[in-house]
Amino acid sequence: MHIADSECSSIKDIKNVEIYLAVFSGEKILIYRPKQSSSQEQDLWKIPSYYSDICSIDSNYIDAIMSEANKTLMDNVCMEFGPITNYELVPVWLEEGNVKELSFVITIPCETLKISSVSGVLFPNFSEGVVKKRIGFFSEESIQNLEVDPKSKTMITKIFSYHKA
């Protein structure tokens, strides 16, 4: 997708889009729970994501998008990927009432990931996150039994629908 700079100025309501990282291992998707801070009321599971300038979602900027995706995975779940060629960047519209929000999903096969040697922002390493039940791969059915961030839950449902197709 490419949006010319001149078109960006006409898009008043869309400044940034959220890019979700759908890491699949078979029929299970990677989700995590950020460390609970004193300001959070609930400790909810989320799908890794970050915000990107909509004007940069262009084939010329895919390296930057993938670099930021890799940084997000390292920071949130202590995993990283090397060069991958079999990913997809899929646009998804989220609707809540009369509001539509454009997001994107990058599907990343688990086989392309490795456990990062660098400590993440949320966890010192992947194994500790798994042991403390803050990182995991879950099936669509098992996610229904977890307390998941509402926006992430909607996105996970859409991702599973797309993944099955």
CATH number, residue 85? 3.90.79.10
- Provide the whole-model pTM: 0.79
- Give the DSSP letter of residue 146: S
Q: Give the domain range for residue 94.
A: 5-164
Q: How many domains does the chain have?
A: 1
CB 84 within 8 A of CB 114: no
Q: What's the token pair of residue 77?
A: 């779940």
Ramachandran bin of 56, using left for φ above 0, alpha for ψ from -120 to 50, beta for the remaining angles: alpha
Give the tens place of pLDDT for each residue, 3-60: 334 444 434 445 678 899 999 888 899 999 886 665 656 689 999 999 887 665 555 6
- pLDDT, residue 1, reads 36
Tell me the HSE value of 143 on the side-chain side, using a 13 A CA sphere: 27
Give the tens place of pLDDT for each residue, 109-151: 888 888 887 788 877 888 888 888 889 999 999 999 999 998 8
**DSSP string of 24-91, one letter each residue:** EETTEEEEE-PPPPTT-S---BB--EEEEEGGG-SGGGHHHHHHHHHHHHHHHHSEEE-S-SS-EEEE
